[in-house]
């Protein structure tokens, strides 16, 4: 959480802070989601796999929505590493 707090305390504009903190949080959720998918596959747990895949897809889509809105507001991408979106 120290990195999160540093983002909030930074000299970034408010809209940039919003994008960066949202990216930080959702990035970690997505990383965890990939681990959940791998575990469910390894355990051959179809129900858990589907749940994990849905959760992962929802988080990835929410990042795409924020990125689209960010582009419309600022003209630039919310994250410079668009592979994470």
Domain limits, the chain? 2-79
Residue-wise pLDDT for 45-61, tens only, equals 999 999 999 999 999 99
Cite the DSSP H helix spans in the chain: 2-9, 14-43, 46-74
Residue 22 DSSP code = H
Measure the CA dihedral 76/7/83/33, to 10°.
Answer: -140
Mean pLDDT of the chain: 92
10: tokens are 């930074």
**pTM as predicted:** 0.83
């Amino acid at each position: 959480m120290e990195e999160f707090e540093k983002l909030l305390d930074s000299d970034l504009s408010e809209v940039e802070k919003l994008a960066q903190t949202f990216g930080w949080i959702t990035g970690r959720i997505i990383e965890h989601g990939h681990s959940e998918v791998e575990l469910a596959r390894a355990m051959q747990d179809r129900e858990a796999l589907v749940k994990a895949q849905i959760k992962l897809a929802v988080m990835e889509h929410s990042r795409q929505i924020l990125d689209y809105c960010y582009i419309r507001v600022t003209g630039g991408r919310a994250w410079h590493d668009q592979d994470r979106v």
